[in-house]
């Protein structure tokens, strides 16, 4: 919506609200004296007359616009063969445009609008949001050419204009600035890798040394257990010899 149209709608709404307050409230006995005193002031009365005129003009424009506005057609005639017609719907044109925009995965079609008359004159407008930072100038020209070729496959030579609007798009320089800090942040990781490997080697060697100590300790305990068993066997034999 253009700024002028938005201003006209705001002015029409404000004027209608003023006229409603001045004309409707006294009918219900609300603020009758205050409204009468205000209208007795010349500039207030003139302002009310202006608001009333704006409201009446706006209502007349809306009335005739509803009567004589061009009807939006669901389908468009793109070709004729004898007495037969070949038509394509606006939804098909919109789907084709969305497919062309999103087929490589780098952009998303946020909104696609198709304006068309019964006998052609197709105008397509698309709001596009890149999924990653891109060069808007190069990407816009390439996408515009792709849309013209792709829509020509569906609509023939009936396409009059193709408009594009990029949302939250960034330039290639922003992408480079975004990548450089990422590379700088990965450099400390590469520098820390040799230190981590040396620490891992030291931990493995210490673990191996501790396992050797445990093995030796187990061997000694086994030999001591064997010696204790031999002493126990020898002691009963000695006692038996003494008794004999």
Chunked into runs of 10 residues, the chain (244 residues) has average pLDDT values of 87 94 90 91 94 95 86 76 84 92 89 82 90 85 92 87 82 45 46 49 47 40 45 47 44
104, part of any domain: yes
Per-residue pLDDT at 11 = 94
121, part of any domain: yes
132, part of any domain: yes
Q: What is the number of structural domains in the chain? A: 2
206, part of any domain: no
The CATH number of whichever domain residue 161 belongs to comes to 3.30.70.1350
- In this structure, the answer to whether residues 158 and 80 fall within a common structural domain is yes
- In this structure, the answer to whether residues 81 and 22 fall within a common structural domain is no
DSSP reduced 3-state for 78: strand
- In this structure, the answer to whether residues 154 and 83 fall within a common structural domain is yes
- In this structure, the answer to whether residues 57 and 109 fall within a common structural domain is no
Answer with the one of 47, 68, 89 that is the final residue of a domain: 68
* Rounded-to-integer distance, Cα 97 and Cα 118, Å: 19
- In this structure, the answer to whether residues 140 and 155 fall within a common structural domain is yes
- In this structure, the answer to whether residues 91 and 114 fall within a common structural domain is yes
- In this structure, the answer to whether residues 37 and 64 fall within a common structural domain is yes
- In this structure, the answer to whether residues 141 and 92 fall within a common structural domain is yes
Answer with the one of 134, 151, 166 that is the final residue of a domain: 166
Q: How many CB atoms are located within 10 Å of the residue 122 CB?
A: 23
Q: pTM higher than 0.75 for the full model?
A: no
* Torsion angle, alpha carbons of 146, 147, 149, 151, to 10: 150
* Rounded-to-integer distance, Cα 104 and Cα 5, Å: 37
* Torsion angle, alpha carbons of 202, 206, 209, 215, to 10: -140
Per-residue pLDDT at 244 = 39
- In this structure, the answer to whether residues 122 and 59 fall within a common structural domain is no
221, part of any domain: no
- In this structure, the answer to whether residues 15 and 33 fall within a common structural domain is yes
- In this structure, the answer to whether residues 34 and 85 fall within a common structural domain is no
Domain holding 54, by residue range, is 3-68
- In this structure, the answer to whether residues 127 and 109 fall within a common structural domain is yes
116, part of any domain: yes
Do the Cβ atoms of 106 and 132 come closer than 8 Å? yes
215, part of any domain: no
Answer with the one of 106, 141, 166 that is the final residue of a domain: 166
Residue 132: name the closest of 178, 65, 72, 182 by CA. Answer: 178
**CA 87 remoteness from chain centre:** 34
237, part of any domain: no
DSSP reduced 3-state for 113: strand
């Amino acid at each position: 919506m253009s700024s002028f149209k938005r201003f006209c709608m705001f002015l029409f709404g404000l004027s209608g609200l003023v006229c409603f307050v001045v004309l409707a409230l006294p009918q219900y006995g609300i603020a009758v004296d205050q409204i009468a005193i205000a209208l007795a002031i010349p500039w207030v009365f003139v302002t009310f007359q202006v608001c009333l005129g704006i409201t009446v003009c706006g209502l007349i424009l809306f009335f005739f616009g509803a009567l004589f506005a061009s009807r939006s057609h669901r389908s468009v005639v793109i070709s004729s063969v004898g007495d037969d017609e070949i038509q394509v719907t606006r939804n098909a044109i919109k789907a084709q445009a969305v497919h062309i925009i999103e087929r490589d995965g780098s952009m998303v079609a946020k909104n696609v609008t198709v304006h068309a008359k019964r006998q052609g004159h197709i105008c397509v407008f698309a709001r596009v949001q890149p999924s990653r930072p891109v060069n808007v100038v190069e990407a816009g020209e390439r996408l515009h050419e792709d849309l013209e070729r792709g829509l020509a496959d569906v609509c023939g030579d009936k396409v009059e204009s193709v408009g594009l609007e990029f949302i939250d798009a960034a330039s290639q320089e922003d992408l480079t600035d975004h990548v450089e800090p990422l590379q700088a942040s990965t450099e400390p990781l590469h520098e820390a890798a040799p230190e981590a490997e040396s620490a891992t080697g030291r931990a493995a060697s210490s673990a191996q040394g501790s396992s050797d100590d445990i093995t030796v300790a187990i061997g000694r305990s086994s030999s001591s257990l064997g010696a204790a068993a031999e002493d126990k066997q020898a002691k009963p034999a000695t006692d038996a010899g003494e008794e004999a």
